[in-house]
Every structure is written in C-alpha cells, then in structure tokens.
Amino acid sequence: MPTTRIILDTDPGADDALAILLMLASPEIKLEALTTVHGNVTLDKTTRNALALLEFMQEKNIPVAQGCSVPLVKPPHQAQGEVVHGASGMGRTNLPGPKTQTIKAHAVDYLIERFLAEPKELTLFAIGPLTNVALAIRQEPKFAECVKELVIMGGAIRSGGNMSPLAEFNISEDPHAAHIVFNSGIPITLIPLDATYKCLLTYADIERLNKTDSPIARFVRDVTADYMEFYLKYEGFAGCALHDPLTVAAVIAPELLSLESHYVDVDISGGVSTGKTYADFMKVAKKPANIKVALDVKGREFVELFIKRMENLAKQ
C-alpha cells in the first residue's frame, strides 16, 4: 500500500488531537513532523499540547517546530477557543508537561527546508489558521511548486460559519493568510464545515469506545468533554463535529467525500463577511478551478471508521 508522507500544521485543540491520533492509527500514513500555529489557544499552549500528545503516544521520531503566534493582519482572539477546547486546549485531559522540546528552526523555515529538499514527495495538512503556510509561500517562491498536495480543514461554502454567521474559525482567524494560500497554485483539497458538521461523534460513541477501557479511549473521552458540553449548550446537540479528523479521510477513505473542483476564495474586504469562503459555482469570475472542495460526506460511515481505528489503536 503506498504510504502518504505527511507534515501537519496544527493548533491543538481537541479535534486536532483526534486528527493526530487518527493519522497515527492509519497504516496508509507516515506522519513525519508537526508544525504548530496560534489558533484554538495561544501558541505556547498549542506547542505544549503537540509535544505532550506525541509523548503520550510514545512517538519519539516526530519533530515539532513552533510557528507563528499571531495572524498576518487581524488581532487573534483565542478566548473563543478556550470555551470549546478548555483552558489548556486539550479539554479535560491531564497530560504531563512535555519533557521534549521543539526543534530550533521556526515552523516556516522548517516547512521550506523539508518541502524544497524533496519536491512533490510530501503532503501538507493544515488544520489551524493558515499563517505558517502563507508565510512559507511568501518567503520562498519555490515552496508552492514543491508541495505534492495541501489538505486544509477550513471554510464554510454553503454552510453557515462557526466563528461568525458566515465564517469558519481557521479561515476567519487569518483570512489574509487563507487568501494567499488559496491563490498559491498548490493542489488544494478543502474540507469545510459543509462536510465536517455531518461527522458528529456522540456520547454513545464515546461510551462504546470506552468499553475497551484503555488510555486512548479515556483520552478521547476527556479531550472532547468540553467540546461536547459546548455543542450541547450552544448547538443543542450532545456530541461534537470531527472537523480536523475528517481531513484524514482525504487519504484513508476518499470515497466517503463528495469532492468538486471550483474557484474558491475568501473575503478579505474588511466588512461583516470578512473570512467568508465562497465557491464560484456559476464561474462568474471566469477563473480556473483552484481547489477540490468536499461539499458532502458519508458522515456516519466516517465516524464509524474513526471509532474502529481508535479501538485498534487502543489495543496496540
């Protein structure tokens, strides 16, 4: 089976943690490095969480490079993230503080170094604000042509937003970065809220998983505890959307995704719809398609796949 070699840019974050577990549980994937970015919580916390999670998973060969702490233009607002992901960013888990450290290189320099060293061999996943990726594109003109594929969790096409009525969090947190990335020429697959909101992990799923009575099952329960409470309180649903984990389906179960190629961009005009992503379905702009976007998904099948892989991981 061909292995997809992945570098993951991430802002852990409860669902980021689940995406990392799913990548580690998938034989189709070799997770080669993490780069951290501001987003759900502050950069020092997203970086700490990335290091602590890899130690929890006893992963000793996955380097972590720390990236940008603020968006390119907009001020950050992490307060929103802490409501959903807990003060630490990892819900109610109590992972020990990491003993390992990040590598010395800044995430942007590390991304440039890795992708230029092996052009078109590595796949980049971005499941937080796109600040690091945008700066790599701007700093090194050759970067974009060296990325085999970029898979992004972000955006809301026909769906409403989750950060504002129109905008999804990752894109809304740094819309200028997203505009640079969307127009970079990199082959992009975008996994927006249109699909991720159909992948809902429920309390019943958590209970089922915890029949395995394992540290992994308890971690999934604890890392999603605040997330689940948030959804119950604000969205009236006892569960949580597997936003970041669904990106992994692009490699392990692409048949579950309904992908369409369109010209996609993001509003950076500064008005009320700033951060809103849109697909030019009517080809008004007469621009070539730049993104494959998942407008639908077999959501329950993906959740079942996620649980199965967590059960397997728990037995390892």
Which residues form the interface with ligand RIB (CB under 6 A)?
A: 11, 13, 15-16, 39-40, 127-128, 153, 162, 168-170, 243-244
Residues labelled as active-site residues? 243
Verify binding: residue 81, Ca ion, rule CB under 5 A: no
Say how far apart CA 187 and CA 166 lie, in whole Å.
Answer: 25
What is the closest distance, in whole angstroms, from the C-beta atom of residue 171 to ligand RIB in the complex? 8
Q: Which is nearer to ligand RIB, 15 or 226 (CB)?
A: 15
Beta bridge partners of residue 136, listed in sequence order: none
Verify binding: residue 16, Ca ion, rule CB under 5 A: yes
Q: Which is nearer to ligand RIB, 146 or 182 (CB)?
A: 182
What is the closest distance, in whole angstroms, from the C-beta atom of residue 33 to ligand RIB in the complex? 18
What is the closest distance, in whole angstroms, from the C-beta atom of residue 162 to ligand RIB in the complex? 5
Burial of 83 by CB count in 10 Å (0-12 exposed, 13-18 middle, 19+ buried)? middle
Where are the strands (E) in the chain, listed by range?
4-10, 29-36, 64-66, 123-126, 149-153, 188-191, 200-202, 239-241, 257-262, 264-266, 277-279, 291-297
Tokens of 123: 């796949």
Q: Which is nearer to ligand RIB, 146 or 297 (CB)?
A: 297
Verify binding: residue 175, Ca ion, rule CB under 5 A: no
Verify binding: residue 8, Ca ion, rule CB under 5 A: no
- Count other C-beta atoms under 10 Å from residue 171's C-beta: 31
What is the closest distance, in whole angstroms, from the C-beta atom of residue 81 to ligand RIB in the complex? 7
Contact between 171 and 275 (Cβ < 8 Å)? yes
Q: Which is nearer to ligand RIB, 167 or 253 (CB)?
A: 167
Q: Which is nearer to ligand RIB, 146 or 226 (CB)?
A: 226
Contact between 221 and 315 (Cβ < 8 Å)? no
Say how far apart CA 75 and CA 72 lie, in whole Å.
Answer: 8
End-to-end CA, the chain: 21
Which span (63-71, 119-127, 186-194, 220-228) binds Ca ion, by CB under 5 A? 119-127
Verify binding: residue 151, Ca ion, rule CB under 5 A: no
Say how far apart CA 312 and CA 63 lie, in whole Å.
Answer: 24
**72, 127, 188, 193: which one contacts Ca ion (CB under 5 A)?**
127
Verify binding: residue 173, Ca ion, rule CB under 5 A: no
Tokens of 77: 């607002």
**6, 9, 13, 89: which one contacts Ca ion (CB under 5 A)?**
13
Verify binding: residue 128, Ca ion, rule CB under 5 A: yes
Which of helix, strand or coil describes residue 304?
helix
The residue ranges that bind Ca ion (CB under 5 A) are: 11, 13, 16, 127-128, 244
